[in-house]
Amino acid sequence: MAKLDDLMDIFLRPGDLFVADAGYQLRTVLGSCVSITLWHPATRIGAMSHFLLPTRGGPKRKQELDGRYGDEAMQSILKELKQAGVPAAQCQGKIFGGGNMFPGQLRAGGINVGQRNGEAARELLQANGIAIFSESLFGYGHRQIIFDVSNGDVWSHQVKPSILEVEAEGNI
């Protein structure tokens, strides 16, 4: 097993996705965005996305896939895994993020973008026959995520807003 110091470190920004072998560690920071990680234990190949919205919406036009949208990020990852000879249905799925970054500003209808993203991620994995092994979703604040592709471990650290940020939102 590789030591973290020996792994190539990749930081994903919103809209990024990456498929990697055991020589990589993938990281990101999530607020209301969501990351899906997929890991295939036999090949030690994994993938991670960082999407902003569940879907692009509007009329479907022939256009390049965009990783900012969960459904399109999943299509891209599945395509890359297939090219690498990895059966996606044998992967372990994990989901992270979907935090409420503005707890004092609930939208009409009662569901925030983070919650929509998390629910969409669950549906995407289920629709593709990928088992959800764990998740760290919702709540308040942002998360720091590190995915060690060599062993499939994902570390998630949630940073909750400070009391001053909550007071500024009018939630006290």
- pLDDT tens over the chain, length 172 residues: 455 567 899 999 999 999 999 999 999 999 999 999 999 999 999 999 999 999 998 766 778 999 999 999 999 999 999 999 999 999 999 999 999 887 666 655 566 899 999 999 999 999 999 999 999 999 988 999 999 999 999 999 998 876 544 444 444 3
Domain ranges of the chain: 4-169
Q: What is the largest CA-CA distance in the chain?
A: 52
25: which strand partners?
9, 148
* CATH 3.40.50.1950 matches 4-169: no
Q: What is the pTM of this model?
A: 0.86
* CA 88/CA 127 separation, integer angstroms: 12
C-alpha to C-alpha distance for 15 and 4, rounded to whole angstroms: 25
Sign, CA torsion 17/18/19/22: negative
Whether 140 and 160 have beta carbons less than 8 Å apart is answered as: yes
Distance between CA atoms of residues 128 and 124, nearest Å:
6
> Token pair of 140, please?
């308040």
Contact by Cβ (8 Å): 135, 51: no
